[in-house]
Structure 1
Amino acid sequence: MHNCKNADPLWNDLKIYHAVVSEGSLSGASRSLNISHSTVCRRVSRLEGMVGVPLIRRRANGISFTKDGQQLAAFVKEMDDRANDILFWIKQKKEDLAGALSLSCCDISLPSVSTIVGDLSVSHPEIQFDIKVSAMNADLRLANTDLAIRATNSPDESLVGVKLSHFHFKVAKRVGCLSETKANWVCLNDSFAHLPAERWFGERRVQCQTSIRVDSYMSAAELIRNGTGIGLLPEFVISSDPQLEIVDVDTPLPTWNLWLVYHRSQINNGLVKAFTQHLKQHWSSSVSDFGYPLIRENPASARF
């Protein structure tokens, strides 16, 4: 049986190799693991030396995997899947209200989320929160994120969901700006082209001169607030900001729902249960302070 101390480098090198396979490049693995490109290259070379055969071929336009490299990639993926299953299994067994709880949330939910997290931290100081704010959805099939708050009309049916609120989009401009027909249109970049608000092509948008693209609605709100242009924002963001006002339009505007979602295996996880119950009890009062929409009914009935 191998000594555990001697086996550690192999496990670490396999993790790096898995990142190379998943990202399709050495530089992609470097970014995803937050380590240097030279470290990735050195560790892959060390793994090749340990195996005794080449695993990747470096080409001018990137890398390709040898037959042995592809076979090892399949083994490493299976190993990673099993490691993820183990992490989920461990989390299922956790009943106490202590330890780390990771939450991914969209930027428009952050003001109310921060209030609720602050309240829960006071009553349960043993909980360590790890909050990631991103417009991109975290993959809840991976055990490194426990819960997510998403703005969507089509939540993943493989997850447990609590519907928090329903809201409308409106065209927004800076208070006092007179011209709307020659303004810039402030919108999200092409990676969000699938979203309802980004597919909207009403008269106001068509009349705008150019597009200014950003990576979040809060960034869009900041540009619109400064008079840089006009654009679609959640109605509650506009109504809670004295520097923004709604532009009337004749065409129908998109609507969205806000959901709390988590993996089905975590229904009995103590930390997930505590956060979900606290959120359902206090979301209404918290969001009303910011002009946010309220939970209309018991969100437990919205599980699917």
Structure 2
Amino acid sequence: MMNWDDLRYFLALVDSTTLTGAARRLQVEHTTVARRIDALEKALQLRLFDRLVRGWQLTAEGHELLSQAREVEERWFSFERKALNMGKLEGVVRISAPPALSAFLLAPQLKTLSQALPDIELELFAESHHVSLGKREADIALRMVRPQTAGLVIKPLAAIQYGVYSSKAYLKNREEAKWEFAAYEKNSATPHHQWLENYINGRKLILRSNDQLVLSQFAASGMGVTVLPHYLRHSHRSLLQVEQEVDLVARKLWLVMHEDVRRSPRVRAVADSLIDLFAGKAMSDMLTWY
């Protein structure tokens, strides 16, 4: 079978006309050029060059194949350029994350990431369901539950801390025993949901919702008390944390990628930037109570 790499030697010898010139161009020994041309002729069962004293000259058969060899060369260079471009820090990287976290924690902090990677276009999709990384529905996912699927790269990113929140107007002159609550959907297995169910302890429940933004609006508008992640305290000016309940529970946030996708330089660069972002002071201040 023909070795496709032998075409490089064929074209180098055509352009240089001498073994020495072709060897210099390819940075090999002249004997290597001669050996590769002999191998190509043997594979094709054609004589491509006449070995003359004044140099190697193409035969008629060699002339017939020259244009096709040029086309193969150009296609190879095109393939190589595309591969190199794919290896550059440019292109689209899609991130999937929970809605409230996307809007109030991640999006406000992306300026730093965008400035560090100016040629990368970010797509941030706020999704409550878990997308399929295997089907390339996202390049990177931020998840509150550690995935169990094989073939994924999983890294703990941060600890999301929660507190009990209401409004100053609601809490003023109101006994704790008479607080009214908004809770999450029934039978939820998440730690802060279960904690809240126990914390209500027979007090009045007036709303359930599966949306943290709905619950934050409930508390901010003076309707009652609920549990929220600390980063949502900035979503409404009137939100006030009940101080005695600081750090009641924390949940891990995971960064997840598919094993194959993480080899992409642009995806790897965004993932590393997200890791650095969550390790920084600005993000730490958002995640904890103060």
Question: Does the C-alpha gap of structure 1 residues 285 and 94 become closer, same or farther in structure 2, counting only changes over 3 Å?
Answer: farther
Choose which of 264, 267, 275 in structure 2 pairs with 1:272.
Answer: 267
Choose which of 115, 121, 142 in structure 2 pairs with 1:122.
Answer: 115
Per-residue deviation at 1:293?
4.5
Partner of 2:135: 142
Structure 1 spans left out of the alignment, 5+ residues: 1-90, 295-304
Separation in 2, partners of 1:136, 1:184: 30
Partner of 2:251: 256
User: Per the alignment, in what secondary structure is the counterpart of residue 97 of structure 1?
Assistant: coil
Partner of 2:96: 104
Using structure 2 for the length normalisation, give the TM-score. 0.58
Question: Does the C-alpha gap of structure 1 residues 237 and 246 become closer, same or farther in structure 2, counting only changes over 3 Å?
Answer: farther
Separation in 1, partners of 2:268, 2:288: 23
Using structure 1 for the length normalisation, give the TM-score. 0.55
- Matched-pair contact (CA < 8 Å) for 1:184–1:209: yes
Separation in 2, partners of 1:101, 1:265: 14
- Matched-pair contact (CA < 8 Å) for 1:182–1:207: no
Per-residue deviation at 1:247?
5.8
Bigger radius of gyration? 2
Cα RMSD after superposing both structures: 3.4
Partner of 1:207: 202
Cα shift readout 1:261-303 (whole Å, capped 9, x = no counterpart): 1111112112211111212223213314x53249xxxxxxxxx
Partner of 2:240: 244
Per-residue deviation at 1:169?
2.6
Separation in 2, partners of 1:230, 1:195: 18
Structure 2 spans left out of the alignment, 5+ residues: 1-82
Runs of at least 4 residues of structure 1 off by over 4 A? Answer: 238-242
Separation in 2, partners of 1:183, 1:254: 20
2:284 aligned with 1:285? no
**Count of residues paired in the alignment:** 200
User: Per the alignment, in what secondary structure is the counterpart of residue 181 of structure 1?
Assistant: helix
Separation in 2, partners of 1:138, 1:185: 32
Cα shift readout 1:138-187 (whole Å, capped 9, x = no counterpart): 232321211111223x3436321221222433222222412443443222
- Matched-pair contact (CA < 8 Å) for 1:173–1:247: no
- Matched-pair contact (CA < 8 Å) for 1:112–1:286: no
Per-residue deviation at 1:102?
1.0
- Matched-pair contact (CA < 8 Å) for 1:167–1:255: yes
